[in-house]
Structure formats: C-alpha cells, structure tokens
Structure 1
Amino acid sequence: MGFLTDTTHLHITTWVIGVVLFIVAAMGAKPNKGLHMALRLFYILIIISGAALFFKHQSIDNMMYGIKFLMGLLTIGMMEMTLVKKTKGQPYNIFMILFAVFLFITLFLGFKLPVGMHFLA
C-alpha cells in the first residue's frame, strides 16, 4: 500500500478531478446521474487516499491532520448535499458557500502541513 502514502500525488489527483467533476455537475443545466455516480466514486477514492495519508503522517501533528481530515469530509459532504438539493430542485446556495469555505480551509491546511507541496506556507 506504499503507493497510497509514498507521495501525495494520488490524493491530489483524485481531489482535483473530484472538484472539476463537481463544478461541471453543479453548473450543468440538468442533473446528470452518470456524472453524479462518477463523482461519488471519486469521493471514495479521495477518502481512501486521504485516510491512508492521515494514518501514516498523523504522528507529525495529530491535531492539524485531524482537523484537515474533518474539513475534507465536510467538503465532500457539502459537494454531495449541493448536488442532491439541485437534483430535487431545492435551494442549494448555502451548500455551495459552505463547500467553498470548507474547500479553502482544507486546501490551506493541506498546503501548510509538512507532508506534500508548500504553495501557501
């Protein structure tokens, strides 16, 4: 399982693709079930690769990695809630705002923590 934890490339690739798919699905005129299911697959891949990195590197800074893990789960939750609300024709603006806030916090923590790339630190 070293390919999951040797570098952050797999995790970064999965969340970039996930965010792009989410934006495409959220901005689409009508709901696309196939795209939504593909996005759910990427949720799972993001969580698996993130959990593998978390369990390997949490000893560096337990609290910050735990907060980043929680923020990542909340980001995925807001992505899913946005698409579900949109599919049902209900207002989803608050979930888009929460998605943006949680994504910013998650990215900031991810770039600030010792493992991975240091764009903002």
Structure 2
Amino acid sequence: MSFLTSQTHLHITTWVVAIVIFLIAALMGKQSKGLHMTLRLFYILIIITGGALFIKGMDYGMGMLYGFKFIGGILVIGMMEMVLVRQKKNKPTGMFWILFAVFLLITLFLGFKLPMGQNFLA
C-alpha cells in the first residue's frame, strides 16, 4: 500500500477530478445521474487515499491537525452530496454551497500547510 502514501499526488488527483465532476453535475441539474454515480466512486477513492495519508500523517506528530483535515474532507464530500441531492429534489441549496466553499477552503488550507502538503514557495 505504499503507492497510496509515497506521495500525495494520487489523493490530489482524485479530489480535483471529483470537484470538476461535481461542478459539471451541479450545472447539468437533473440530467446528471451517471455523473452523480461516478462522483460517488470518486468519494470512495478520496476517502481511501485520504485515510492512508491520515495514517501516515501520525508519523509527523500532528495527528489532531490531520484529524481536522480528515473531518473537513468528509464534510466537503457531504456538502457536495447534499447540493446534488437537494438540487434533484428542487429544494434550496444556497446554504450547502456556502458550507461546501467554507469546508473546502479549510481543508485545502490544512492540506497544504501540513508537512505532507505541497510547498508552492520552494
């Protein structure tokens, strides 16, 4: 399982693809059934790769911050799902879009700040 934790590229790729699929599915509205199912597959991949990185993150002595990032990632996935499901049922989604953006920014900040994150300044 070292391919899951040797670098963060697999995890980053899965969540970037998932966000793109989510935005396309949200713009398509009710016709996005196939995309929604594909997105659910990416949720599973994100959780698997994120869980493996979370376990590796314990080696850095920052378990609590990695735990917050893990919870933030689960909340981002939850808000993505809530937006699509509520949109399909013609219910208001404004609050879930805002929560999605807030949780995504928090999770990205923690992900890039923590030791296993990408260093853009170097």
The answer to whether TM tops 0.5 is: yes
Secondary structure class of the residue paired with 2:41: helix
Question: Are the counterparts in 2 of residues 7 and 116 from structure 1 also a CA contact under 8 Å?
Answer: no
Q: Does 1:20 align with 2:20?
A: yes
| Aligned pairs for 1:50-61 within 5 A | 50-60=50-60, 61=62
* Sequence identity percentage: 63
Give the aligned partner of residue 72 of structure 1: 73
Q: Does 1:118 align with 2:119?
A: yes
Question: Are the counterparts in 1 of residues 54 and 70 from structure 2 also a CA contact under 8 Å?
Answer: yes
**Aligned equivalents of 1:72 and 1:119: distance in 2?**
21
Between Structure 1 and Structure 2, the one with more helix by share is 2
Number of aligned residues:
121
**Aligned equivalents of 1:9 and 1:114: distance in 2?**
14
User: Which amino acid in structure 2 is aligned with residue 36 of structure 1?
Assistant: H
Quote the offset at 1:59 in angstroms: 3.3
Quote the offset at 1:75 in angstroms: 0.4
- TM-score, with structure 1 as normaliser: 0.95
Quote the offset at 1:15 in angstroms: 0.2
Q: Does 1:46 align with 2:62?
A: no
Unmatched runs of 5 consecutive residues or more in structure 2: none
Give the aligned partner of residue 81 of structure 1: 82
Quote the offset at 1:29 in angstroms: 4.2
Q: Does 1:33 align with 2:36?
A: no
Residues 96-119 of structure 1, C-alpha deviations (whole Å, 9 max, x = no match):
110000000000000000003023
Superposition CA RMSD, Å: 1.4
**Aligned equivalents of 1:29 and 1:71: distance in 2?**
25
Question: Are the counterparts in 2 of residues 4 and 52 from structure 1 also a CA contact under 8 Å?
Answer: yes
